[in-house]
């Protein structure tokens, strides 16, 4: 091998190392698990799951079970996302901490809620107890679970169907047959403006009948909030096994964190008001490129480590916001996605599994 070729490889290796080091320090999430209602006892396994994701995808996870991280807006603003993992009840944050969190979200922060996060600060229009303490929270999340009954009996297996194609669902089976404590929304609070990603099939209630309160069966959704903030919620995540052995649940939540981390995670955030992202990363078969002005892009190209062009595609529809790249034939390794809008060239590293 020539000295020039060796130098090229050494340069690329050094660049990748530096990219990985900066990438690992660029995205930070807060894992929050405080409860004043029912305690699912999942905080330790949930934290371990997100720590594992952090190692895999290169982000930092801080843990909070007391709410102290909410004591100042400046502290919250260091986080790309705040995860409410099986929080519950209506007395976990004080008035100042609530105000700080509202400012964080309203200034562009991201919320990720898991399962009993919708049984936290239930909306004043929802039935049952512990309602009306902080309607902003339920409206930001998008729902409050109803009471009496809250959910199905036990954790039966039902079919979950994807309603749309979205990078947040990348790698998730469709249909997905999952054992879960499925929630009911009819007599709680549910915002019809939620962008629902998944819903469960019709379930049987605790009285062994199909009931009207099972008519709204959304299990996963997201929202783009005023001020540029984002909200993601899934009612899945009741049992400990979700966090220790359910690979699809792991993938769903890792997709949510990468969605929250945006450019800081190396997924790609472009100059101006429009954001273009890729999901998932690492990727097995299909790489999704998503953006509000994706149709303005001239080309999307993939290069290998030594700079050879091996793939090229461009959006075709005038209003296209999602581009799917089939890269199943690529060998495992590190690649660079280059996006050219005719004026600027951006490059994003990704890993093919």
Question: Mind listing the domains of the chain with CATH numbers?
Answer: 6-263 (3.40.50.880), 268-352 (2.60.40.3080)
State the Cα–Cα distance between residues 256 and 245, nearest whole angstrom.
18
State the Cα–Cα distance between residues 243 and 327, nearest whole angstrom.
29
Place of tokens 């790609």: 268
Tell me the average confidence (pLDDT) per consecutive run of 10 residues in the chain, 353 residues long: 40 36 63 97 98 88 98 95 97 97 94 98 90 94 96 98 89 95 97 95 96 96 90 98 97 92 44 58 86 65 80 71 86 82 67 89
97 — phi, psi (to 5°)? -65, -40
State the pLDDT at residue 273. Answer: 30
Two tokens, residue 94: 């004080």
Two tokens, residue 40: 């699912």
State the pLDDT at residue 312. Answer: 86
Burial (CB count <10 Å: 0-12, 13-18, 19+), residue 120: buried
Angle, helix 247-261 to helix 43-57, in steps of 10 degrees? 60
The answer, yes or no, to whether the previous bond of 138 is cis (omega within 30 of 0) is no
State the pLDDT at residue 309. Answer: 84
Q: How many helices (H) and strands (E) does the chain have?
A: 7, 18
Query: Residue 201: which of 178, 221, 169 has the closest Cα?
Result: 178
State the pLDDT at residue 262. Answer: 65
Task: Provide the 3-class DSSP secondary structure of residue 333.
Answer: strand
Q: Across-strand partners of 221? A: 196, 233
User: DSSP code of 331?
Assistant: P
39 — phi, psi (to 5°)? -105, 115
Q: Across-strand partners of 302? A: 311, 337
Pairing of strands 195-200, 218-224: antiparallel
State the pLDDT at residue 56. Answer: 83
Two tokens, residue 208: 């062994």
Two tokens, residue 231: 């909200």
State the pLDDT at residue 319. Answer: 58
State the pLDDT at residue 295. Answer: 56
State the pLDDT at residue 303. Answer: 83
For the residues of 278-289, what is the DSSP string, one character each?
Answer: EE-SSBSSEEEE
Residue 127's Cβ-side half-sphere holds a number of Cα atoms within 13 Å equal to 11
pTM exceeding 0.85: no
State the Cα–Cα distance between residues 277 and 289, nearest whole angstrom.
6
């Amino acid at each position: 091998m020539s000295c020039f070729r060796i130098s090229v490889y050494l340069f690329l290796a050094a660049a990748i190392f530096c990219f990985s080091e900066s990438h690992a320090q660029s995205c930070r999430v807060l894992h929050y698990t405080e409860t004043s209602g029912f305690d699912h006892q999942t905080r330790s396994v949930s934290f371990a799951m997100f720590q594992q994701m952090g190692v895999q995808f290169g982000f930092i996870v801080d843990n909070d079970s007391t709410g102290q991280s909410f004591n100042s807006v400046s502290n919250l603003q260091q986080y790309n996302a705040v995860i409410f993992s099986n929080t519950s009840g209506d007395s976990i944050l004080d008035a100042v901490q609530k105000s700080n969190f509202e400012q964080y979200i309203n200034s562009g922060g991201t919320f990720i809620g898991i399962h009993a996060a919708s049984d936290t600060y239930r909306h004043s229009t929802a039935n049952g107890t512990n309602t009306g303490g902080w309607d902003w929270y339920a409206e930001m999340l998008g729902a409050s679970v109803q009471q009496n009954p809250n959910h199905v009996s036990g954790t039966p297996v039902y079919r979950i169907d994807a309603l749309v194609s979205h990078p947040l669902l990348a790698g998730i089976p469709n249909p997905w047959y999952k054992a879960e404590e499925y929630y009911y929304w009819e007599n709680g609070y549910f915002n019809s403006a939620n962008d629902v990603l998944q819903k469960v099939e019709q379930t049987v209630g605790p009285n062994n009948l199909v009931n009207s309160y099972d008519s709204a069966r959304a299990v996963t959704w997201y929202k783009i909030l005023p001020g540029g903030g984002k909200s993601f919620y899934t009612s899945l995540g009741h049992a400990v096994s979700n966090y220790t052995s359910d690979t699809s649940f792991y993938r769903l939540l890792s997709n949510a964190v990468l969605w929250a981390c945006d450019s800081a995670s190396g997924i790609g955030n472009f100059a101006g008001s429009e954001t273009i992202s890729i999901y998932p990363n690492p990727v097995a078969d299909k790489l999704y490129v998503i953006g509000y002005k994706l149709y303005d892009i001239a080309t999307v190209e993939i290069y290998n480590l030594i700079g050879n062009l091996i793939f090229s595609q461009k959006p075709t529809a005038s209003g296209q916001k999602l581009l799917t790249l089939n890269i199943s034939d690529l060998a495992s390794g590190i690649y660079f996605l280059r996006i050219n809008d005719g004026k600027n060239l951006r490059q994003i590293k990704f890993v093919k599994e």
